[in-house]
């Protein structure tokens, strides 16, 4: 085990330290203001109070370090190394949920709001985030009723002979057809941005000023339009509860659950809570260090950065995080622990959300555990089915046959374990032979074995699975075949009924009966349906590619770009075939050798035409 004497040579300077095991694998990357003092804190009596530290230090064989000029450089380098090495003991967010924002680019001729996924440093204004595209579009729809900005690209609208339907229902002011002045449209854009920022008093003051100016110039229609906007905004504000006037902040709260942190993040925009998200991250070290890691990881993504980040505890490096976020946002960002007032109440609300999320997660995990235990008992499995794989075959009229594998861990889908298999050795519609090929290819490889294998089908598919595993000498795995329910209708019956889902096990002629709509059966059906969906999606993709295939794709030296240029220049594949070598050479990048190859290949492929 590594001792404190091994770090006596560490410098008294800022930098990054890398903890490695005996195999040289990086377990943890951290940054420090003073390297020697920070690493020394992992040893001795002071570290024993943190029960998480020994679990890490018992595995550490060596500690390397990289000296930096400043602590800020150390923070940036730490993030870079975490991204490169993915250490086990560092936080790595894997929230695959996409969040949306509203984008407004003041540099456009007539700016408009669009719903986007990624926040880019392009000079545009971003508002949000929103948990779904429907939530973002609902906000957009409400805004266009108040501020009727254009909906479509200018060139698209200008090609029309008259304004679109949005103009008719007063959700667009038709700048593409000159029905509003640039100055008046600019007021709408300014009002939209102020409204999304929650600066409602400034919006109303601006619109009242514009209304008075228009009335003073005897432009009464324009003044009436501003009057209607003011009324619409006042009506909208009556229905909205302001939490913190003009506030814009990300509010973090967390609760520790054993070796993990349950973190809740609330979004305060325009003075109102517009949504939030939750993270459950494995973290066995100090809470403050974990929260700092999470901040670095979260804001490294393409997300909107607010004016304030409120935290549930004091971070020693808070000024550093504020400096980094300010540079990325282009405006000042504050990172701090609120001590009193409304902001502290919001932080406590975030902690309450984290506690609620942790309770729900625990309840869900407990239910999934009970489902797996019941499944183990009913199917007489040798062990708890923590890892379940399911296989399915998809084909249409014997063409483009494919197999699929889906993976569920602890009752939840794990898309990283999904696999497609193109059928190579079987032609026609022999499902059993195709299943044999897929299973043989999968279990001939050295890969983690599942606790339970499910095949989509009845006794026939299950027998194939049993034979393949016996031939490969694989034992101790639970096997099952799940057949879909069948339509049952007697000749004299007036109604159509369906049979129950049928579950087949090796060595049993009759299917096992699981209570319909029971948790174990629903889990197996969900896994089977997911395998079927995954197979069908890939099968349709291959069929679509085959339907779009062109003889030009088979010619060496002809890629997608040259194919497009050939068809654009000659109009059709028939005209390409009839073109002379000299005419083909006129295209940029087409040599005489390639032109002759095109003539030769197309001339001998009558069926392709």
Residue 165 has pLDDT above 80, yes or no: yes
- In this predicted model, what pLDDT tens digit does every residue of 466-516 receive, in sequence order? 999 999 999 999 999 998 766 555 556 555 556 677 899 998 888 888 888
Pick 387-544's CATH classification: 3.40.50.720, 3.30.1360.120, 3.30.420.340, 2.60.120.260: 3.30.420.340
Counting every residue written for the chain, the total comes to 609
Residue 233: predicted pLDDT: 66
Cis, peptide link before residue 219, omega less than 30° from 0: no
3-class SS of residue 561: helix
Identical fold between 249-359 and 551-603: no
Q: What is the pTM of this model?
A: 0.67
Residues of the chain with pLDDT > 70: what percent? Answer: 88
For every residue of 301-312, DSSP letters joined together read: SS----SEEE-S
CATH homologous superfamily of 551-603: 5' to 3' exonuclease, C-terminal subdomain (1.10.150.20)
As a whole number of angstroms, the distance between CA 576 and CA 598 comes to: 9
Band (366; pLDDT cuts 50, 70, 90): very high
The residue among 370 and 283 whose pLDDT is bigger is 370
Q: 4-85, what's its fold?
A: GIY-YIG endonuclease (3.40.1440)
Residue 308: predicted pLDDT: 93
- In this predicted model, what pLDDT tens digit does every residue of 289-326 receive, in sequence order? 889 888 988 888 878 888 999 999 999 889 999 999 99
The residue among 358 and 429 whose pLDDT is bigger is 358
- In this predicted model, what pLDDT tens digit does every residue of 418-450 receive, in sequence order? 999 988 888 777 889 999 999 999 999 888 999
- In this predicted model, what pLDDT tens digit does every residue of 109-128 receive, in sequence order? 899 999 888 888 788 888 87
CB 378 within 8 A of CB 512: yes
Residue 609: predicted pLDDT: 37
Q: 41-68 burial, b for 16+ CB within 10 Å, e for fewer?
A: ebbeeebeeeebbeebbebbeebebbeb
| 129: nearest Cα among 138, 121, 120, 119 | 119
Residue 373: predicted pLDDT: 94
CB 485 within 8 A of CB 500: yes
What average pLDDT does the structure give for the chain? 83
The residues spanned by each domain of the chain are: 4-85, 100-238, 249-359, 387-544, 551-603
Residue 605: predicted pLDDT: 43
Long-range residue pairs from 359-364, CB within 8 A, at least 24 positions apart, any chain: 361/257, 361/262, 361/280, 362/257
What is the average pLDDT across 231-247?
Answer: 62
- In this predicted model, what pLDDT tens digit does every residue of 71-124 receive, in sequence order? 888 888 888 888 888 888 888 776 555 678 889 998 888 999 998 888 887 888
CATH, range 249-359: 3.30.420
As a whole number of angstroms, the distance between CA 551 and CA 331 comes to: 55
As a whole number of angstroms, the distance between CA 65 and CA 13 comes to: 11
Residue 548: predicted pLDDT: 56
As a whole number of angstroms, the distance between CA 350 and CA 358 comes to: 12
């Amino acid at each position: 085990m590594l001792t404190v004497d091994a770090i006596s040579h560490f410098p008294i300077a800022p930098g990054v330290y890398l903890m490695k095991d005996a195999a040289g694998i990086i377990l943890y990357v951290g940054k420090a203001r003073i390297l020697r003092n920070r690493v020394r804190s992992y040893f001795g009596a002071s570290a024993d109070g943190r029960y998480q530290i020994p679990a890490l230090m018992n595995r550490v064989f060596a500690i390397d370090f990289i000296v930096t000029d400043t602590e800020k450089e150390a923070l940036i380098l730490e993030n870079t190394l975490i991204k490169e090495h993915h250490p086990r003991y560092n936080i790595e967010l894997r929230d695959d949920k996409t969040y949306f924002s509203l984008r407004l680019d003041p540099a456009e001729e007539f700016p408009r709001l669009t719903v986007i996924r990624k926040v880019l440093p392009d000079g545009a204004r971003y508002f949000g985030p929103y948990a779904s595209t429907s939530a973002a579009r609902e906000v957009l729809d409400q805004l266009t009723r108040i501020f009727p900005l254009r909906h479509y690209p200018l060139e698209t609208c200008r090609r029309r002979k008259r304004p679109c339907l949005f103009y008719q229902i007063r959700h667009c002011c038709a700048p593409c057809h000159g029905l509003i002045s640039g100055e008046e449209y600019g007021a709408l854009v300014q009002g939209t941005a102020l409204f999304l920022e929650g600066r409602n008093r400034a919006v109303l003051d601006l619109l009242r000023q514009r209304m008075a100016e228009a009335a003073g110039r005897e432009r009464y229609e324009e003044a009436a339009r501003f009057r209607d906007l003011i009324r619409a905004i006042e009506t909208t504000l009556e229905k909205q509860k302001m939490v913190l006037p003009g506030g814009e902040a990300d509010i973090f709260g967390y609760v520790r659950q054993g070796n993990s942190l349950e973190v809740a993040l609330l979004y305060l925009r325009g003075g109102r809570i517009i949504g939030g998200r939750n993270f459950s991250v494995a973290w066995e070290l100090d809470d403050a260090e974990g929260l700092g890691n999470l901040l670095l990881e979260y804001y490294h993504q393409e997300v909107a950065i607010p004016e304030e980040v409120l935290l549930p505890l004091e971070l020693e490096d808070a000024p550093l995080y504020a400096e980094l976020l300010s540079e990325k946002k282009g405006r000042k960002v504050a990172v701090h622990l609120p001590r009193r007032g409304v902001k502290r109440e919001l932080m406590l609300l975030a902690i309450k959300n984290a506690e609620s999320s942790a309770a729900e997660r625990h309840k869900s995990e407990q239910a999934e555990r009970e489902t797996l235990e019941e499944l183990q008992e009913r199917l007489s499995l040798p062990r708890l089915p923590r890892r379940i794989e399911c296989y399915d075959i998809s084909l249409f009229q014997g063409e483009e046959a494919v197999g699929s594998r889906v993976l569920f861990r602890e009752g939840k889908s794990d898309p990283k374990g999904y696999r497609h298999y193109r059928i190579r050795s079987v032609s026609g519609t022999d499902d059993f032979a195709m299943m044999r090929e897929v299973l043989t290819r999968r279990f001939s490889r050295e890969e983690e074995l599942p606790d339970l294998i499910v095949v989509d089908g009845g006794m026939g598919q299950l027998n194939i699975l049993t034979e393949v595993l016996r031939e490969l000498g694989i034992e101790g795995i639970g096997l099952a075949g799940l057949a879909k329910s069948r339509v049952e209708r007697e000749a004299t019956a007036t109604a159509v009924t369906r049979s129950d889902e049928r579950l087949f096990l090796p060595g049993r002629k009759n299917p096992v009966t699981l209570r319909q709509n029971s948790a174990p059966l629903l889990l197996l059906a969900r896994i089977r349906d997911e395998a079927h969906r995954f197979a069908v999606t890939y099968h349709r993709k291959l069929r679509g590619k085959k339907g779009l295939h062109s003889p030009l794709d088979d010619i060496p030296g002809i890629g997608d770009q040259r194919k497009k240029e050939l068809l654009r220049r000659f109009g059709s594949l028939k005209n390409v075939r009839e073109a002379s070598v000299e005419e083909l050479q006129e295209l940029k990048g087409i040599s005489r050798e390639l032109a002759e190859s095109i003539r030769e290949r197309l001339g001998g492929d009558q069926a392709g035409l």
